[in-house]
């Protein structure tokens, strides 16, 4: 197993994210709120911790395995890959969260809280029960056995140019059109990848008996923090972010716990089926 690559020493003051970085984050977090729903994203136990499972590339002799999974030893460029690999391997999850948009009418005015996105998702890509709300638009989406069952309100029906489907279950064989419309909300891997946002990442060496590690997203003025498991695979637990474009909080629970969407699909039975 190759040794972990050392991190580069700091070469000077860290850069503060510019407007381009903030706009990119806004596009990820605020896209669901845009017209037409062109989505990017709008979101101590008593038992002994599980045996640590170091990420690939970490030299097992370079750290005390009792300290955790060694994510803080991974090169900064590889942190996201390690987290996403853990998410893929874990499969189903219960993900929930909100993003609230903030705007200002001019550079001198105060920020005003605007439209909000809400997500409640149980399952895995291609097999899930999700409830999404973007401003006044809301829908319940269940995907089971390759069929998407969608029940949207009047605003949702209008947004898809099918006003007569308001309050009516609409089924499609093949879930891609529905999933793509709400991308990346309905795939845990895509959601976590969007939250990480392609920004520089850093993980501090753990101290004390904390059971989670904080991945700081962004340089200088951090754009957000994704907390992951310290022991075992680095699975996400919470995400928080705030800047001039809005604020977001997401929670992840029940990793690996299968959520059968069949009962929800039966509740949203296809017309004539």
* Predicted confidence (pLDDT) per residue in 236-269, tens digit: 999 999 887 889 999 999 999 999 999 999 999 9
CB 105 within 8 A of CB 238: no
DSSP result, 41-83:
-----SSPPPPP-PPTT--GGGS-GGG-S-GGGS-GGGHHHHH
Determine if residue 230 is left, alpha or beta; phi over 0 gives left, psi from -120 to 50 gives alpha, anything else beta. alpha
CB 96 within 8 A of CB 250: yes
CB 1 within 8 A of CB 54: no
Amino acid 24: pLDDT: 44
Q: Which residue has the higher pLDDT, 27 or 104?
A: 104
Least confident of 1-5, 26-30, 91-95, 148-152: 1-5
Q: What are phi and psi of 238, to 5 degrees?
A: -140, 155
Enumerate helices (H) and strands (E) in the chain, giving the number of each: 6, 11
Torsion of CA 240, 242, 246, 248, to 10 degrees: 0
pLDDT at residue 2 greater than cutoff 70: no
Angle (CA) 244-248-250 rounded to 5° is 165
pLDDT at residue 8 greater than cutoff 90: no
* Cα(207)–Cα(7) distance, integer angstroms: 19
- The string of pLDDT tens digits covering residues 51-62 is 444 555 555 455
* Cα(177)–Cα(39) distance, integer angstroms: 12
CB 230 within 8 A of CB 69: yes
Least confident of 100-109, 153-162, 163-172, 240-249: 100-109
pLDDT band for position 23 (cuts 50, 70, 90): very low
Amino acid 227: pLDDT: 97
Q: Which fold has domain 19-43+54-105+112-267?
A: outer membrane lipoprotein receptor (LolB), chain A (2.50.20)
Secondary structure element (H or E) that encloses residue 247, with its range: strand 246-253
Closest CA to 198 of 23, 68, 45: 23
Please tell me the total number of residues recorded for the chain in this structure.
273
**Portion of the chain with pLDDT greater than 70, in percent:** 75
pTM over the 0.75 mark: yes
pLDDT band for position 33 (cuts 50, 70, 90): very low
Amino acid 39: pLDDT: 32
- The string of pLDDT tens digits covering residues 167-221 is 999 999 988 888 888 889 999 999 999 999 878 999 988 888 899 999 999 877 6
């Amino acid at each position: 197993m190759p040794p972990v690559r050392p991190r580069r020493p700091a070469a000077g003051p860290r850069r503060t994210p510019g407007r381009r970085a903030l706009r990119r984050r806004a596009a990820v977090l605020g896209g669901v709120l845009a017209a037409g729903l062109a989505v990017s994203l709008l979101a101590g136990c008593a038992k002994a911790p599980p045996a640590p499972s170091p990420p690939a590339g970490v030299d097992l002799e370079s750290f005390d395995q009792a300290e955790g999974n060694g994510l803080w030893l991974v090169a900064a460029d590889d942190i996201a890959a390690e987290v996403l690999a853990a998410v893929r391997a874990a499969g189903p999850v219960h993900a929930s969260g909100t993003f609230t948009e903030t705007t200002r009418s001019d550079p001198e005015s105060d920020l005003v809280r605007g439209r909000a996105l809400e997500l409640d998702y149980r399952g895995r890509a291609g097999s899930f029960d999700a409830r999404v709300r973007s401003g006044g638009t809301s829908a319940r989406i269940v995907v089971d056995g390759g069929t998407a069952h969608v029940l949207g309100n009047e605003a949702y029906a209008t947004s898809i140019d099918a006003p007569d489907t308001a309050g009516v279950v609409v089924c499609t064989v093949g879930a891609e059109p529905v999933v793509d419309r709400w991308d990346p909300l309905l795939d845990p891997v895509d959601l976590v990848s969007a939250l990480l946002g392609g920004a520089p990442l850093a993980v501090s060496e753990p101290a004390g008996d904390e059971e989670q590690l904080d991945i700081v997203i962004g340089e200088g003025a951090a754009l957000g923090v994704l907390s992951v498991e310290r022991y075992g695979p680095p699975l996400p637990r919470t995400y928080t972010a705030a800047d001039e474009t809005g604020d977001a909080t997401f929670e992840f629970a029940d990793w690996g716990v299968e959520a059968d969407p069949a009962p929800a699909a039966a509740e949203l039975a296809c017309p004539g089926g």
